[in-house]
Structure 1
């Protein structure tokens, strides 16, 4: 299998490779421990029913990324979130004028608060342990963040591209994306991201920075009945 093909199943290969220590494995399906990220991925449909039911006992609301899973009687499909999977091939050439700080340790509470203000539900208490997270402060207030989530041997996902509603339009996201992406390149990996296909503004920003849409990929939101 070519490395790029692993992007078709990013959760499975992240939990098989770089993030294997965060995996809960049930036969042919793997999940991130729900304290980190409520995502799962499978390599085959034939042996996932027991796994999805067991994971539903860990967290009653989660996502499976990639192909549509077969549902059991104990689960229902809440929604399908269709995303553009976008990949960057070259470093971003842009001026960094803001002070960018790392948020993973003593500033973790600020990070969790801001992300859940703008994108509630996705970001968990231990999500910052999955990768590096960076932010911009103004008057001692965290106003914009970007970081890393799923990680494979060859690819790292950019995630949590969030700006406080009172501070949008100032170019903070652009600088944070560039900073994060270029750090990923410095590690010998390729940055990629997922963005809802309806988020046209974000897609246009990513395209301006050099990201190209590789494919559409679905995030299937399952909830326990």
Structure 2
């Protein structure tokens, strides 16, 4: 697949571009403001600017960090490490909205969305994450069964993220319908959908069958400043 600099460095381009108003930091480092997704990014992962990052991170505060694989500098520690796939949609336009009854999620749904994310662990998620894009949910009465929405973005690109289904409602294809709903919306406005999935997640094969292709596999770490 042809390389795309925006997609190669999507975390940095998002935090210095579309989501700059939701970011803190300077120099060669940025983080989402507290309350949003606990993610950091470096302008150059090969030469990460930890000095700039330290100024906006509390000791013990965990962050997800993509594409940096060097040794932790003094004052920092690596709490977890794995790899994830960045996948890009290469399928056709879904013929119709597969989830027409899905509700747009707003501030009144924030606590429910966070509760579902903490249960399902789709990746870094905060109380205000649903403010980063359009989020949709499937409800059983007032109970949130499943959700999916948008996070990272750059010109022509939009990430599908926060994909969750409550264990009580699995097997109904709810997450797949929400993903395809978002793909359709993206294609209609001229954007390409992409998403992230951990190597160990069985959903990787599902996404391949749906029409996503692997773009790259990168190191992902959870890092934090050491306590004094």
Q: Give the TM-score taking structure 2 as reference length.
A: 0.88
- CA positional deviation for 1:179: 0.5
Q: Write the mapping of 1:74-223 to structure 2, written as runs, cut at 5 A.
A: 74-89=75-90, 90-93=92-95, 96=98, 99-119=101-121, 122-200=124-202, 202-223=203-224
The alignment's C-alpha RMSD in Å is 2.2
Check conservation: 1:63, 1:219, Cα contact below 8 A: yes
SS for the counterpart of 1:57 is coil
Check conservation: 1:10, 1:41, Cα contact below 8 A: no
Check conservation: 1:116, 1:122, Cα contact below 8 A: no
Spell out, residue by residue over 1:40-99, the C-alpha distance to the aligned partner (whole angstroms, 9 max, x if none). Answer: 221235460212322332762112212325522111111213101100034234662662
| Residue in structure 1 matched with residue 17 of structure 2 by the alignment | 17
Spell out, residue by residue over 1:112-143, the C-alpha distance to the aligned partner (whole angstroms, 9 max, x if none). Answer: 22122211872211111101110111233110
- Output the CA distance in 2 between the equivalents of 1:86 and 1:120: 15
Q: Which runs of 5+ in 1 are unaligned?
A: none
> Which range is displaced more, 45-54 or 129-138?
45-54
Q: Give the TM-score taking structure 1 as reference length.
A: 0.89
Check conservation: 1:143, 1:163, Cα contact below 8 A: yes
- CA positional deviation for 1:108: 2.6
Residues 67 and 91 from structure 1, CA distance in 2 versus in 1: closer, same or farther, beyond 3 angstroms?
farther
- Output the CA distance in 2 between the equivalents of 1:212 and 1:24: 32
Q: Which runs of 5+ in 2 are unaligned?
A: none
- Structure 1 or 2: larger helix share? 1
Q: After the TM superposition, list the runs of 4 or more consecutive aligned residues in structure 1 that deviate by more than 3 angstroms.
A: 92-95
